[in-house]
Structure 1
């Protein structure tokens, strides 16, 4: 007997890529279970699937930075300044990123590349260990949202959030809808998606001096005049990141989807003051905010 749950959850995370750097991503999760019926004539209670398996997936990868530990681009070591924290150095073709975060903000995968196949294998091993004996088979399908227009990948962190959104390097794959004078403008959408392709979005209020950043000794020797520095304290601990300016957009607000929608609206209004602007900004899949002027 098989039991399926489509759209069980959406995992929003970022991952390290040798070519693209740190990339924000959103994947939809479908689950298929196979096994004998239990004493309740079920393979597994839907409530257990939706709650327990979703919780396992969320704890493993959601709102984390996924690290391919077999890749030479990654270096991880224990922080010497913050308890239960780690330094992570990421050297990619687009530039070098350096971080310090609580250990729970990272997911370490035994692979040289983060992709759907490697993350699926990682999750299968974790979830199978928690399933009851009557469940003999497990299939997980990770898939992108089908988007027939332009979209962008972004990474950020929310210092005021008391949940996992506070982690300084998690992200999303997001579409956007932009309207000028009540007409959808696909050229504006493409322009903005090009601007935020594989971007790190930082808040100006989180900027710090190079002398105040907490990074690994190795990172300190690799910093250049192209790096910019951001840090904050949140409920989970202290977060630091050094980001090269070519993959960075610094906004004058926090990076919640509400304020990003407003930021986009304000930027477009500056260049087109006589037009009415409406922004529908998404944060991952099927959620977002609307701003207009």
Structure 2
């Protein structure tokens, strides 16, 4: 017999891709449980198992930086105070690509995956291998399915960190796959949506007060970010071409306000309403209009 749970939870995190770099991601999670019926004609207590799996995902991948530990370009180095340094050398994947990426963070913010490429299918297999022994003994197998949201229209993947947040959003390299809805004078404007998705394609959204350096190394410009939050010291070095700077915190409220502000400036006399999403099914709405001069 099998039990299934559709849309058990969403995991929002960032992962590292050898070609595209740091990518924010949001996956819907479905599970299937296999086992024999017990004396109550049930496979297991559904509510308990759902909570166990969700908690495991929250503790081990959600709002973390997932790294492909077996890729030849990856190097993970332990640091003092339960911290670690992840360095990726892009030339190991593409010889002409001289970029490097580095994130130093508390170990609780880094998900070490035993694979060379991070895909929904590979991560699902890893999760299955990790959680089966944690579940009730009567369960014979667990199947996990991860999938990005099926978005019709504009979408982008962004990473960020919210140092003032009391929860795991404070981690400097976590992210989301998001859509955006933009209304101009009350009418949905897909051209504006796709334009904005191009601006924020594979982007790191940085806060100005967290920027500590801008360097030029081996022909590459880099932005360096650093801050200390409740979980500890976070540091990030990333290709400047993948950075979009803001003078505010990168909460979804601030991001939707930023979109509305910029589009209102670019389209004076037009009432802009921006629906900014943070992952799947949640976000903020901001409105702005600039008078024509």
Normalised by the size of structure 2, how large is the TM-score?
A: 0.92
Is residue 21–residue 91 contact of structure 1 (8 Å, CA) maintained in 2? no
Following superposition, the deviation at residue 5 of structure 1 comes to 0.9
> CA 1:163–1:94 in 2, change beyond 3 Å: closer, same or farther?
farther
Q: What is the number of residues matched between the two proteins? A: 282
Write the distance in 1 (CA, Å) between the matches of 2:185 and 2:143. Answer: 47
Q: CA deviation at 1:85?
A: 0.5
Separation in 2 of the partners of 1:283 and 1:94? 32
- TM-superposed deviation, 1:45: 1.6
1:130-187 CA-to-partner distances (Å, cap 9, x unmatched) read 0121101211111111111010000111101111111111110000001111111111
Gapped regions of structure 2 (runs ≥ 5) = 91-96, 289-293
Superposed counterparts of 1:1-293, under 5 Å = 1-79=1-79, 82-92=80-90, 93=97, 95-209=99-213, 226-293=221-288
CA deviation vs aligned residue, 1:232-267 (integer Å, no higher than 9, x gap): 111110101112110000111101111100111111
Does the C-alpha gap of structure 1 residues 186 and 115 become closer, same or farther in structure 2, counting only changes over 3 Å? same
Residue 90 of structure 1: how far off its partner (Å): 2.0
Q: 2: CA distance between counterparts of 1:273 and 1:7?
A: 42
Q: Distance in 2 between matches of 1:99 and 1:222?
A: 17
Deviation at 1:290, TM superposition (A): 0.5
Deviation at 1:224, TM superposition (A): 6.5
* RMSD over equivalenced CA pairs, Å: 1.8
Q: Deviations over 1:36-76 (max 9, x none)?
A: 22344321222212211111122121111111111022111
Distance 1:123 1:14 in 2: 16
> Contact (CA 8 Å) 2:99, 2:220: kept in 1 or not?
no
The answer to which of 277-286 and 266-275 deviates more is 266-275
Change in 2 beyond 3 A, CA 1:222/1:88: farther
Name the counterpart of 1:215. none
Give yes or no for contact 2:98–2:218 (8 Å, CA) kept in 1: no
Provide the rounded CA distance (Å) in 1 between the counterparts of 2:195 and 2:99.
23
Match of 2:157, SS state, is strand
Aligned partners of 1:20 and 1:94 also within 8 Å: no
The Cα shift of 1:195 comes to 0.7
Residue segments in structure 1 that go unaligned for 5+ positions in a row = 212-220
